Chains A and B, each alone.
Chain A
Amino acid sequence: MLTRPDPGSVTILFEGAPIRARAGESVASALLAAGILAVRTTPVSGAPRGPFCMMGACFDCLAVVDGVGGVQTCLVPVREGMRIERQHGARDVAAEDAA
């Protein structure tokens, strides 16, 4: 886990636990700085995956953000109170539709 001279003033929740983040940084960046390397498991083999390219190309940083699955966390800036959950396997659009 990195030690940040300036841990930031924004608080997001990962799996319910508060994480400090800097205003303007991406969710993926805040998660990596907090030592969270795996944010999802793959739909086919169930292997863990986490942020890799940090520029929207690799789709390995997908997570559930405020109830919406399949979000590329490297492309989304942090917001106060944002809720991030791990995404297990394929995104369940039927459950999102029912919600």
Chain B
Amino acid sequence: MMAERFDVAVVGGGMVGSAIAVGCARRGARTVLLDEGDVALRAARGNFGLVWSQGKGDGMPAYAAWTRESLRHWDSFAEAMSGAAGTDIGFRRKGGLIFTLGEQEWEQRVEDVRRLHNQIGGASTPVRMLDRRELEELIPGTPLGPRVLGASLAPEDGHVNPLLLLRGMHAAFRAAGGTHRPGAPVDAVRPGFTLHRGAESIAAERVVIAAGLGTPKLAAMLGMPVPVHPVRGQNMVTERLPPMLPLPASAIRQTAEGVVQIGVSYEENLWETATTVKELARMAARAVQVLPPLRHARIVRAWGALRPMTPDRYPIYAQSQAHPGAYVAVCHSGVTLSAAHAGPLAEGILAGRLPDLVAELGPDRFHADAA
């Protein structure tokens, strides 16, 4: 039996793969999205929903510049995805905060903001420190705890409903003529390219491996060593509450519907998505220090998800040297970067050359000694 032929096969139907697929399909490429489905270890179904630049790129200015590029595309991207989803995906961009509790955190935050600014300057988005009085002027109704001395503010940051974003990308992909094939993992990729999935064979001119934690196995078949490991993050949400936090913050945000979402944990190398009382209690205790009325709020749901993490925490993008036309894209900031993935990255993949902005984000940075 002849294999079906496509211009582009994207492996991975989460945040990263879906964004690339929608970008390719909207540019007229005959694209198939091979998607294991929600049974996968899918960060796209468990993330926090920030569209965020603040604090990113310390030690890697290229990551800050790429993040800023994505933020530049977010307004038009969100509008297109809301249109496809048939509902507002909830993108709001009025600035993002990192609260500081106590003198030590305030001083550390001042120092971090200064260091990052000196290091990457204009490549990043602007960030400024707000003392308690300035913070109260910015968010006058918010019941801040007494230990909140201030916050850093990145005016270009925001948040989105990540579940609706994923739905919007899948809908936009199908509307652009894309072929979405959920339901089974890809078993093997052969140069040429042929993808094997159970009894199915799919042929494509280009292949993009964007399979999160499943990426290393498939990328290795195309001669690309891509180190990725899981870092678990836990989340919880309260019952719906009246509006109290108009801007999203690191580890605490209130959705348009009133739910307060609380994060965040970093647990290395666990291959399970369970939650733990220890982490949830620590996260809740901090949230209550930021917003004391939350001590009355009920937690209605908690979950864990696995971030696909690289050794230095920055994304990896590459085209295979041995097999041109094969690409890999993996990162833990799939929401923030989705506008860049659907825009300049998809454009680069179709043109046969990755964007200059991601030139320093290849996996060869981990093999400097071997080169």
Q: Write the residues of chain A forming the contact surface with B, with a CB cutoff of 8 angstroms.
A: 43-44, 59, 68, 70, 89-94, 96-97
Are A93's CB and B258's CB within 8 A? no
Are A97's CB and B143's CB within 8 A? yes
- Chain B residues lying within 8 Å of A43, measured Cβ to Cβ, are 240, 242, 257-258
A67 and B294 alpha carbons, distance in the complex (Å): 16
- Chain A residues lying within 8 Å of B365, measured Cβ to Cβ, are none
A70 and B143 alpha carbons, distance in the complex (Å): 20
Known A-B contacts A91-B241, A92-B242; A97 and B258 likewise in contact (beta carbons under 8 Å): no
What's the minimum C-beta distance from A67 to chain B, rounded to whole angstroms?
Answer: 11
Chain B 274-304, CB-CB to A under 8 Å as 1, else 0, gives 0000000000000000001111111010000
Are B242's CB and A94's CB within 8 A? yes
Are B239's CB and A70's CB within 8 A? yes
What's the minimum C-beta distance from B120 to chain A, rounded to whole angstroms?
Answer: 39
Interface assignment of B244: CB less than 8 Å from any CB of chain A: yes
- Chain B residues lying within 8 Å of A89, measured Cβ to Cβ, are 242
Cβ-defined partner of A90 (8 Å) among B242, B292, B300: B242
What's the minimum C-beta distance from A96 to chain B, rounded to whole angstroms?
Answer: 5
- Chain A residues lying within 8 Å of B294, measured Cβ to Cβ, are 93
Are B240's CB and A93's CB within 8 A? no
Q: In B238-284, which residues have CB < 8 Å from any A CB?
A: 239-242, 244, 257-258
Count, chain B residues at interface, CB 8 A: 16
A48 and B181 alpha carbons, distance in the complex (Å): 41
A92 and B240 alpha carbons, distance in the complex (Å): 9
Name which residue of chain B comes closest to A69, CB basis.
B296
Are A90's CB and B241's CB within 8 A? yes
A70 and B297 alpha carbons, distance in the complex (Å): 9
- Chain B residues lying within 8 Å of A96, measured Cβ to Cβ, are 293, 296
- Chain A residues lying within 8 Å of B257, measured Cβ to Cβ, are 43-44
What's the minimum C-beta distance from B90 to chain A, rounded to whole angstroms?
Answer: 13
Cβ-defined partner of B244 (8 Å) among A44, A59, A68, A94: A94
Are B242's CB and A97's CB within 8 A? no
What's the minimum C-beta distance from A43 to chain B, rounded to whole angstroms?
Answer: 4
- Chain B residues lying within 8 Å of A94, measured Cβ to Cβ, are 143, 242, 244, 293
A16 and B240 alpha carbons, distance in the complex (Å): 26
What's the minimum C-beta distance from B192 to chain A, rounded to whole angstroms?
Answer: 51
A90 and B292 alpha carbons, distance in the complex (Å): 17
Would you list 13 pairs from A and B whose C-beta atoms are within 8 A, ordered by A residue?
A43-B257, A44-B257, A59-B300, A90-B239, A90-B240, A92-B241, A92-B242, A93-B241, A93-B242, A97-B143, A97-B293, A97-B295, A97-B296
Known A-B contacts A43-B257, A44-B257, A90-B258; A97 and B292 likewise in contact (beta carbons under 8 Å): yes
- Chain B residues lying within 8 Å of A68, measured Cβ to Cβ, are 296
- Chain B residues lying within 8 Å of A90, measured Cβ to Cβ, are 239-242, 258
- Chain A residues lying within 8 Å of B258, measured Cβ to Cβ, are 43-44, 90
Max chain B C-beta neighbours (<10 A), residue from A59, A90, A93 = A93
- Chain B residues lying within 8 Å of A93, measured Cβ to Cβ, are 241-242, 293-294, 296-297
Name which residue of chain B comes closest to A99, CB basis.
B296
A12 and B288 alpha carbons, distance in the complex (Å): 33
A70 and B299 alpha carbons, distance in the complex (Å): 11
- Chain B residues lying within 8 Å of A92, measured Cβ to Cβ, are 241-242
A17 and B358 alpha carbons, distance in the complex (Å): 68
The 10 closest A-B pairs by CB, nearest first: A97-B293, A93-B293, A43-B240, A93-B296, A94-B293, A90-B240, A90-B242, A90-B258, A96-B296, A43-B258
A91 and B259 alpha carbons, distance in the complex (Å): 11
- Chain A residues lying within 8 Å of B297, measured Cβ to Cβ, are 91, 93
- Chain A residues lying within 8 Å of B239, measured Cβ to Cβ, are 70, 90-91
What's the minimum C-beta distance from A64 to chain B, rounded to whole angstroms?
Answer: 12
Chain B 90-113, CB-CB to A under 8 Å as 1, else 0, gives 000000000000000000000000
A97 and B257 alpha carbons, distance in the complex (Å): 21
A4 and B139 alpha carbons, distance in the complex (Å): 53
What's the minimum C-beta distance from B262 to chain A, rounded to whole angstroms?
Answer: 14
Name which residue of chain B comes closest to A62, CB basis.
B239
